[in-house]
Every structure is written in C-alpha cells, then in structure tokens.
Amino acid sequence: MKIKLTSIYVDDQEKALAFYTGVLGFTKKADFSNGPFRWLTVVSAEELDGTELQLALNDNPAAKTYQQAIFKQGQPALMLFTDDIKGDHERIKANGGAFAMAPTAVTGSTIAQVNDGCGNLIQITELARW
C-alpha cells in the first residue's frame, strides 16, 4: 500500500491555492468541479508524481471545530519536510508567508510553523543529521 492522497481543510480554496503554489512553491495537480464541489490538489514541485494534498473546502461543522481547536493550541494540521529549513524560511517569507514560529531547534531537528491563511498552521521540519 501507498499513501497517494491526503486532505487539509481550508476556508477558501482560491486563497489556499495561491498560498500552496505561490508561497510554498507546490504545483497544482488537479482542479475540476462536479456541481457545487471542487476537487483541488497540489503536489510538491520536487515530486510531481508524489503524494497529492487535497485543498478541501471546510464546510463541515465538525471539521471546523477541530481545525479551530488545533490552530488555537498551536498544533500543525500538516507537516512538511525539507533539507534546507533556513533557505525555505527565507524563500517563504519573501513570498509573503507569515510564520507563527521561526526556525527553532527541537531535539536535534529544526522546526518552523507558517500560517496558511486558511485556518491552518503548517509545520516545516528539517530532520537532524546524525
């Protein structure tokens, strides 16, 4: 088995698409509508055939409650990994990203959190090189 797709709830799909492509540098993979529903996914520009991230419109009351609670607690809704957190931090800031946590050393690794502007904190991690 493989993980091919995961979802993140967003309060505005257009705004989310602009953030995940324009700020983080992902690539739009799928974008189509079926009636009132829009299927929208992005992938890492480094892995065009990799795991897709669905930017799902958050119109589910239970999901909204969960999203707001973890955001308030400072918990990330998504974790991304990088080999160059300092470089990515600078690039994302230059692209307009708002960091809730600057790169911070944690148990040998380095993490940062950026606000996607759509209700989520995204954690970026550079793992320790042992």
Contacts of 73 (CB under 8 A, 6+ apart): none
pLDDT > 70? residue 130: no
Q: What are phi and psi of 57, to 5 degrees?
A: -65, 130
pLDDT band at 108 (very low <50, low <70, confident <90, very high): confident
Is the CATH code 3.10.180.10 the one for domain 5-126?
Answer: yes
pLDDT in tens, 49-107: 999 999 999 999 999 999 999 999 999 999 999 999 999 999 999 999 999 999 999 98
pLDDT in tens, 10-46: 999 999 999 999 999 999 999 999 999 999 999 999 9
Q: How many residues are present in the chain?
A: 130
Helix (H) / strand (E) element for 67: namely helix 61-72
Amino acid at 21: T
Q: How far apart are the first and last CA of the chain?
A: 29
When the pLDDT of each residue in the chain is averaged and rounded to a whole number, the result is 97
Contacts of 59 (CB under 8 A, 6+ apart): none
Q: Which two tokens mark 35?
A: 């009636």
